[in-house]
Chain A
Amino acid sequence: MPEKPKIALYWCSGCGGCEESVIDLSEDLLELQRRADIVFWPVALDSRLKDLEALGNGEIDLTLINGAIRLHEQAHMARLLRRKSKLVVAHGTCAHLGGIVGLGNFHSVPEILARSFREVPTVKNPGGILPGGFKEDSVRGPKLSGLTDKVMALDQVIDVDYYIPGCPPPPELVGEAVWAVLEGRLPEKGFVFGDRKTLCHTCPRLDSKPEQISLKGFKRVHETKWDMEKCFLPQGVICLGPATRGGCDSRCIQANMPCRGCFGPLETMEDHGAGILSFIASMIDAEHEDEIRRITDAIPDPGGLFYRYSAPHSILGGGKGPRT
């Protein structure tokens, strides 16, 4: 009997949503189980590191890695899995671009640790102890993996073959990628699943997007009501659809929420935030600096809003990590 292809799944610094997206393959998951051998999947199976280490180089046909690289251990696992796999897919936005975890790059590691373990009002840590890996506060007992200096997307640590965008990716997209590989329909290296165009192209509200949008102000989602049939932008609500890859079936739009950009930018726009900044600025109805500033000051955290999912992959990377 011919050997079934081997598949591995691993999670780095993730929330589990990407794992859910695999579970949400539903009956197709059974089909997957029938067609392939899942040899390593810590979240769902009793997988051991030593079993993985025992595999030969390139023995795994397809590995899906989700989550960003925030710990040294995750970088180590990514490299290990790369060695053991023929194809590695960055599964989900954190692996693709750094994801929400990537927002950590706007702060330094000491700042993050201090905030989490010392400053947060609900923490009771009179000794000011920080988790292991730091000499100044080393605790007796097992050493925890230290934080990398900056959050990284998967391809900033290892060579990646394909990307499945989305936070989490629609299960259909995960299925598309997995079947493509299992059926030998390999796309070119570096391929990002999803659409070739941004979300406006397939958005159900595109017809109500006017040619001219002139805004005297922006409204945050909790500050306003909006027409449920019409494009968000002329109503003053920031939707990142124009700058974000489509292919998600406009799920958020259909749930009457503006796009938050989780599929990231197209290949032609190397910095998601830059693309967003440009089109947001173009909608401002003011010609003098003071007025423009007043309008944009209403956006409390442009870095967070524009780079919510892509900070590590942006041109400046969030800034706090050492520059490459």
Chain B
Amino acid sequence: MQGVEPKIIVFLCHWCSYEGADAAGRGRKEFPSGNLREIRVMCSGRVDPRLVLEAFRLGADGVLILGCAPGDCHYKRGNIQALKRIPLLERILQQNGINNDRFKFDSVSAGDGEKYARIAGEMVERLRGQGSKNHA
């Protein structure tokens, strides 16, 4: 467990959201990047539930999975496969004491540094307000 500043694992897909995160960098957007730990995968569909569960077990305060927008997936439907897992994973996390503020799935297109900064910033703010992760 990390102290007051939440640490958020962000899964980014190589083709869209990773590029979007880079765009946020190139655009020098203001957002709490220090609280994020980005990890690259080829497709959001690669993120299997084990990775999310392990991230929380290791002590992450939040996990974000960011893929391509519907219809834009480089592998056609990988992001849809990722989406299909989300509602069940949310409930499993909840039953394990991790509330849904801590886990989100969204899309960020390649040029959308703005959206990346916003989504990440919102989660950090939300989790700062909640203090350290607990088993409520």
Given contacts A280-B88, A296-B88, contact A315 B80 (CB under 8 A): no
Whether B97 lies near A319 (C-beta < 8 A) is: yes
A293 contact set on B, CB distance < 8 A = 87
How many of chain B's residues touch chain A, expressed as a range? 20 to 34
Cβ-closest chain B residue relative to A280: B88
Q: Quick check: is A278 within 8 A (CB to CB) of the other chain?
A: yes
Whether A106 lies near B95 (C-beta < 8 A) is: yes
A278, A286, A292, A316: the one contacting B48 at CB < 8 Å is A278
Among the stretches A47-55, A113-121, A153-161, A297-305, the one at the interface with B is: A297-305
Give, as a whole number of angstroms, the nearest-CB distance from A311 to chain B. 9
For B57-97 the 0/1 string (1 means CB < 8 A from A) is: 10000000000001000000000110111111101110111
Whether A274 lies near B53 (C-beta < 8 A) is: yes
Q: Quick check: is A92 within 8 A (CB to CB) of the other chain?
A: no
For A279-307 the 0/1 string (1 means CB < 8 A from B) is: 01110101101001100110101111010
A287, A299, A301, A319: the one contacting B96 at CB < 8 Å is A319
Given contacts A287-B70, A292-B83, contact A271 B53 (CB under 8 A): yes
A315 to B80, CA, bound (A): 25
A278, A281, A302, A315: the one contacting B95 at CB < 8 Å is A302
A281 contact set on B, CB distance < 8 A = 81, 84-85, 88
A106, A277, A301: the one contacting B89 at CB < 8 Å is A277
Q: Quick check: is B116 within 8 A (CB to CB) of the other chain?
A: no
Q: Is the interface of B mostly helix, strand, loop or mixed?
A: helix
Give, as a whole number of angstroms, the nearest-CB distance from A274 to chain B. 4
Which residue, of A273, A280, A315, A320, has the highest number of chain B Cβ atoms within 10 A?
Answer: A315
B91 contact set on A, CB distance < 8 A = 296, 302-303
Q: Quick check: is B135 within 8 A (CB to CB) of the other chain?
A: yes
Give, as a whole number of angstroms, the nearest-CB distance from A211 to chain B. 16
Whether A323 lies near B50 (C-beta < 8 A) is: no
Cβ-closest chain B residue relative to A271: B50
A323 to B83, CA, bound (A): 28
A284 contact set on B, CB distance < 8 A = 84
Whether B95 lies near A319 (C-beta < 8 A) is: yes
Give, as a whole number of angstroms, the nearest-CB distance from A299 to chain B. 7
A235 contact set on B, CB distance < 8 A = none
Whether A315 lies near B83 (C-beta < 8 A) is: no
A106 contact set on B, CB distance < 8 A = 95-96
A189 to B88, CA, bound (A): 35
Q: Quick check: is A148 within 8 A (CB to CB) of the other chain?
A: no
Whether B95 lies near A297 (C-beta < 8 A) is: no
Given contacts A277-B92, A278-B48, A302-B91, contact A316 B53 (CB under 8 A): yes
Q: Which residues of A contact B (CB under 8 A)?
A: 106, 108, 269-271, 273-274, 277-278, 280-282, 284, 286-287, 289, 292-293, 296-297, 299, 301-304, 306, 314-320, 323
**Further pairs besides A278-B48, A287-B70, A315-B50: 10, Cβ < 8 Å:** A271-B49, A271-B50, A277-B85, A277-B88, A281-B85, A286-B84, A292-B84, A302-B95, A315-B54, A320-B135
A–B complex contacts, Cβ < 8 Å, 28 sampled: A106-B95, A108-B135, A271-B53, A274-B49, A277-B49, A277-B89, A278-B48, A278-B85, A281-B81, A282-B81, A282-B84, A286-B84, A287-B80, A289-B83, A289-B86, A292-B84, A292-B86, A293-B87, A296-B87, A302-B92, A303-B91, A303-B95, A314-B53, A315-B57, A316-B53, A317-B96, A318-B96, A320-B97
Q: Which residues of B contact A (CB under 8 A)?
A: 1, 48-50, 53-54, 56-57, 70, 80-81, 83-89, 91-93, 95-98, 135
- In order of increasing CB-CB distance, the 6 nearest A-B pairs are A319-B96, A303-B95, A319-B97, A274-B49, A315-B53, A316-B96
